[in-house]
Every structure is written in C-alpha cells, then in structure tokens.
Structure 1
C-alpha cells in the first residue's frame, strides 16, 4: 500500500478513506493519532495490526463535542459536564461507562468503559465532521516507540501500512493528553498529561492519581498503563539533578560509542562536552522540554543514531508529572547514579 500525505486542503479525500474503512493518521495538539472509524470493527482491528499493538490495550475515541459522547456513554454527571466545558477541545481524555453494545470490544478492550477526547486541532475536527463518525486515535507510531510529533515520524513507522497521513506540521503540546477516569466514585488520573492535577482540582475539587500497576492478565482502562512505551533504540538514562551532569559527562567520555544528551539550553551551556557527545536542545524550560521530548528521542533514532541517551529530569509535579511519566517509561526507570 502507498501511504499518501494529505494536505489540510485535502480533508475530504482523507475523510473518504476513513469512511472506506482505511487508516489515516491525523494531527492533534498533543501527538499524531492513527485514525479509523470507531464504529467499524474491522477498521479498528487494523489499527492494532498496523501498530503491532496488543489487542487488550483500549483506544481513545476522538469526537467533536459532547453530543457524540452522549450517543455512546451512560448519562453524564454534572461534574463531567463541568470538565468538558472547561477543557474541551483540549488535552483531556475522559473515561465513561458505556451504554450496552454501543462500541465494539475492539475499541474498549472488552471493558464496559471507553475513553473520549475532543482534540484541539481544527484540521482534525474538520476531518471527524467530514468523515461523519468518531475516530479511534492511538498514537500513530509502532507500539512501544516514541510518540510522533511530526508527520515524518508517522511516515517512518507506518509507511506502507496505512492509507494516509494528514499533515498539519508539528504538534503544539508534544505529550499525550491527561486521562481522567470518570467511571469511579472519585475522578482518577490514570495518565498525567498537559492538563495538570492542579487545573482539574480548580474546576471539580478533589481528584486522585492512580499508581496502580496493571497485572499481566488485567485489561488496562487507558493507554500507557501496562505495556512498554516511548522507547528509542538506545537506552535512555535520566539525569535528575543539575549537580550530576559533570559526573554524567565523565561517564559518557568512557563509552565506546556516541552518547546523546537531551537537556535545556542552560544545562548545555555549562557542560564541558566530551568528543563523543551529540546534543539535542530541550529549549529553555519544562514547557519546551515537554514539547521537544519525543522529537528528541526520535532525532536520536532517525537522524543521529547513538548508543545511549542522557536526558534531563524535572520535578515530578504540574506539567513535570506528564514529562517524567513519559521519560521514566522511555528509560525503563533507569536513572544516573554517581
């Protein structure tokens, strides 16, 4: 199959491919998603095949607003409606209990819940409206690899496996949406993202964060809870403290191959770099680092291969919770030790 690159002016052609049961990657403000008609079970199953994704890993359903959610979910609470009003369109995914038989088990992983999101990207909202159906949309990458923030990342992983990619340039946020489970008594964050716990609390009061480890035979309620994620080819090691970077450079200087360094400009400016170091700037601060994280990991996979990667850690709060969630999974929890 030839994977076509659709321009934003070619939404009707991309929508036709969706209606025909084909797969089209689409842009969101977070990362690129792999789109298929959420009401077409055959098309949904092709998403798993194209990504190499385990079939018990549920998919997020992308919609243009609350009306579509109400067609599938059980009646929404006042709290849910507050969240939708405050954060949609945007980087918040909400899990609701479903009306029986409304969505295929291929979408839900066999659960009685499903995750819904209204993405903040006009091109994709136009695509969903033109297709006339909600779209499943896991990240448009090979399962386990860093999420794609550019169309070329999608093309690298899925060329020949999907019908097309709707290219709207680089994504704005760079880490996936926050996933909030609304099917429990107390709203529970299953995956931190661009919408922070503090922002959620300001709208609806108390929420909790889940640190539950999903068992081998357990079906996760949300993406990213069970399987390996975000890993480049090289081993990532997290450097947590600014004071540790000098020792990290000494360690790198004794490695046989090239070592990648991902850090903010202020860190990079202070380092004495060994000859075997290749750097990638994470920008000025946590905001830019979150935006650049996946692009940096992809850079060291696709454009400047290395044998190891040293990546800057940040405090695990606010947006840092989302950044460190992704970075820890990318590194397999490996942190630099003197």
Structure 2
C-alpha cells in the first residue's frame, strides 16, 4: 500500500528537554568527580592534613590538634604543656613542599613565623595514608608523632607559667622535661604575690627536638619592702622599748662593767638595709647579712672611783634572717 502523503515514518526524535536534562546530569557527575579530585588534592591531601594540624594549634584548638597528632595526654608529669593553648603563636602558615616517597609516605614542609620573632621557620612532617572515609576522601596520619620536648628549669621557685597557665615542677632549680606539640612557641614566666620573673620565649620547630629554657624567679620590690618593713617594725616595737643593756631576742646590745644609775634607752641611728637572696629550699629566702647602728644612752657610776658619767654611744650590729613564704602568702621571719 502506498504511504499516505505527510505520514511520519521511523522513530520519533528525542525531545529537546530530555537531551538538556541528560546533559545537565552528565555535567553534575563530571563536576562531582572533579570536586572530589580537587578536595583530595587540597583539603584531604597530605599537605592539607599537615596545614590543618598547624592551623588547629594556632587557633588554640588543642583538642583538634591532639586528635590530628594522634597524641593523648596521660595526666603524668611532663604532659602539662600538651593542653596549653598556643592561640595566635604563628603567622604566615603555608605549605611549601609535599614530596611522595616510594613507600607512599609524604614528606610535607610547612613554614611559619612566630609572633615573637620575624624569622621564618620550617617544620617537616612524615605523613602516611590511613585509608579513606566515605570511600571517596583520603585519610592521613603522622608516621611519627609530631611532638618535641622542652626542658624547663624554674630557678628559686618550683612554679612557672606557660602562656599564663601555672605549672608546678617537682622542685626549684631542677629541669623537668615537658612534651609539646610541634611546632611550639611558649612564653614562660612567673607571677605570684612576692615573686616575679621576666618573660622567656622558647620554641621548638622540629619533630623530636629537645630545647631548654630557664625561668629566673626573683623577689618583687614589694617583697623586699615588706620584709624591710617587718624587720624595722620588730626592731622599733620589740627591741628599742626594752630598758636593758641586752634586749631579749634582739640583734644588738652592750655590756657595761660599771653600775647603772638609770634605765638604758635605745634608739636606732641606722636601720639595717634589707636585701634578699634565694636558698636551696623553695619558698625560703635569706635576708643578706646587713649592718645597722643602734644608739645607747644610760647613766653609770664607776666602780673604780665612784664618779658618775653618761654612756652615749653608737652600737653597730648585724642582722641575718630567713624568710619563709607560707601557702597563704604569709611571711615568717626567723633570725639565723
């Protein structure tokens, strides 16, 4: 039979809208895999892992930094600095190298500057694959824990602060080793009621590095002034009023062979200057031996010829005390 004029033969053409949707779907799939590839080469790469770790330290997120490092504090002595925030310790953090070794490990180099110094530092990590998550993104871990050690010696007192957090060692003048996340940059100091120390900056910029720092604890001016005031008050209120030649419990006195005709009168010509020095015992300070001058005035009668005369003389003396700082910050001053 002949075909009717105008009749359509064969399959109908695919609608244009369907072709458009198929194209969009293909584009989405392509973009999805491109996105995965980009993320795996940046955020979820070995270098991205290393930078995320250093960034966590720098923003003070110690929990995330410890988790990325695979390090957990045990509460033992030496772990105290692992949880001290280093927020804002670094600037200009960037990855400058990522070399893949034959075994699949990555040698990643990260540079940064500490906020306490302009010199650029470079730290290197060894990072290895540890599987994937979601079946799409790479997981990474440190082949070697990114830690370093700081040996801190607090002089004259067992306490110091690290970025404002107080730490107590086993004893003054003893070096204690602390584990820290690397890179690390701490300001060590001391600040208590009577003692102080200048800030000391210590940094560790290599995995496995051991660095040393000392905190020189010194008496505050107010500590010396307080001891001076207490010594002066004791001499003035406990010693000078005693109407005897040898005041009890006092550092000065005078022996007279003749008979006294009146009560001795003591005044202070020069109070001893007070300065402090540390001892081998934490919390105990010595008052450096200092000289004062008391003045004695008393009438006397000579046993030789019976004439009366007046003793009016300066009596030099030396003082030496030990000062103990109590747990309540009270001071105990003991003659030596």
Shorter-chain TM-score range: under 0.3
Q: Which structure dedicates a bigger proportion of its chain to strand?
A: 2
TM-score, normalisation: structure 1: 0.22
Q: Which structure dedicates a bigger proportion of its chain to helix?
A: 1
Q: Which has the higher contact order (CA 8 A, sep 6+)?
A: 1
TM-score, normalisation: structure 2: 0.22
> Rg larger in 1 or in 2?
2
